Amino acid sequence: MTKMSKLNQLSTFCVAITVILTANCQDFGYDGAFGPKHWGEQYNSCDGKKQSPINIDLSHVTKWSFPPLIFDRFDMFPESTEIKNNGHTVIVTMNFQEAPKISGGPLNGSYKFSQFHFHWGENDTFGSEDTIDNQSFPVELHMVFFHSKYDSFSEALHYNNGLTVLAFFYYVEGEANKNYKELTKLLRTITEPMQQTLFRTPITMFDLMSSNLNKYYTYFGSLTTPPCSEVVTWIDFAVPIPITPIQIQDFRALNGYHGPIGHNFRPVQPLNDRTVFENVPLSETNTLNQGKHPIPNINTNDIDMDSEEDEEIVPGSIGDIEPVFKDYRKENTASITSIGNICLALTLIAASLF
């Protein structure tokens, strides 16, 4: 075998190794080898017993009157708002002097705003993650909060009371939703992964939310993306938000790491032994759970007036939420770059033998 043949074989081997390692370092997706059916192969929590999303069967929900939800500073305008294509979804971060907080309802303590993002489908008949009586919605909004007792989102991921997510569904209407005009327009400027831009017109969190914040369902579950950590109190609002087909199409025009993001929702997971609660505002009943408003412990389905449980869990290795995802991508990009540099060095050494 000639030296040139050996050199070509070495170069081919290095390219193959780099491609294989790059594939193994890829993050999750929604189709094929990277799809939800395979998430559990790398992230054990994705095969857990308290996973999200779920189907909310209205014939099996437990009706309960929770204390009112308290939306603190949801009416405040942020100093700036950034929208970003992170390769899986569009993620929006809002810079406040003091972050909005959510408390009350089924929550023990207050939760600080982190970010919000969206899930959608390939057409207007499906796209949401949670479903109601097996009905899907074209888009779902997730507003993500972490418990105020923890210093950061990353720390909160370690505890089963770490996060709460406010989920909102959408329905198709002919007239454009003015509160979403700039958001959907900006999507056209961030069609490729890691592109980002700023809002020009400030909006409040209330502007993007449902018109009825009293009717909701709540249950304990997980992140709907790897690492699928079971740390989330879900609050799904029953009254959907209007949006037009054209506005929805702007979401579907985004590209991700594995091609167009035509859909980015995880299929529903088994409910197992969990209870889903339906909030019944006291104004609608004179007898249901009045007085002290005992709060069900969503984690155990028990009634627990004073529970402030901080059970630590094994933290996951990656999440779709930006702080975790960014660190993971940085580490693995560095590893792949190092491997490529080694292969290049070997090739150059071999070439010097001529």
Domain coordinates in residue numbering, the chain:
1-27+319-354, 49-317
- Do residues 280 and 88 lie in contact, with contact meaning Cβ atoms separated by under 8 Å? no
Strand partners, 218: 235, 277
The pTM assigned to this predicted structure is 0.79
Q: pLDDT by residue (tens digit) across 156-185? A: 999 999 999 999 999 999 999 999 999 999
Residue 300 confidence class, pLDDT cut points 50, 70, 90: low
E strand spans, the chain: 55-56, 62-64, 69-72, 80-85, 90-95, 101-104, 111-120, 131-132, 139-147, 163-172, 196-198, 216-221, 232-237, 241-243, 255-256, 259-260, 277-279, 296-297, 302-303
Q: Give me the half-sphere count of Cα atoms (radius 13 Å) on the Cβ side of residue 210.
A: 21
Predicted confidence at residue 27, as pLDDT, reads 73
Q: pLDDT by residue (tens digit) across 223-270? A: 999 999 999 999 999 999 999 999 999 999 999 988 899 999 999 999
Tokens of 106: 């089924």
Predicted confidence at residue 5, as pLDDT, reads 53
Q: Is the model's pLDDT at 10 over the cut of 50?
A: no
CB crowding 270-308: b at 16 or more within 10 Å, else e:
ebeebbbbbbbebeeeeeebeeeeebbbbbebeebeeee
Closest CA to 128 of 47, 224, 59, 194: 224
Q: Is 88 among the catalytic positions?
A: yes
The full DSSP string for 142-170 is EEEEEETTSSSHHHHTTBTTSEEEEEEEE
Regarding the domain with residue range 49-317, which homologous superfamily does it belong to in the CATH classification? Alpha carbonic anhydrase (3.10.200.10)
CA–CA dist 25, 273 (Å, integer)? 35
Catalytic residue among 38, 88, 158, 263: 88
CA–CA dist 93, 79 (Å, integer)? 11
Distance (Å) of CA 236 to CA 145, 195, 210: 14, 29, 11
Q: pLDDT by residue (tens digit) across 43-63? A: 999 999 999 999 999 999 999
CA–CA dist 138, 184 (Å, integer)? 15
- Do residues 252 and 122 lie in contact, with contact meaning Cβ atoms separated by under 8 Å? yes
CA–CA dist 42, 81 (Å, integer)? 34
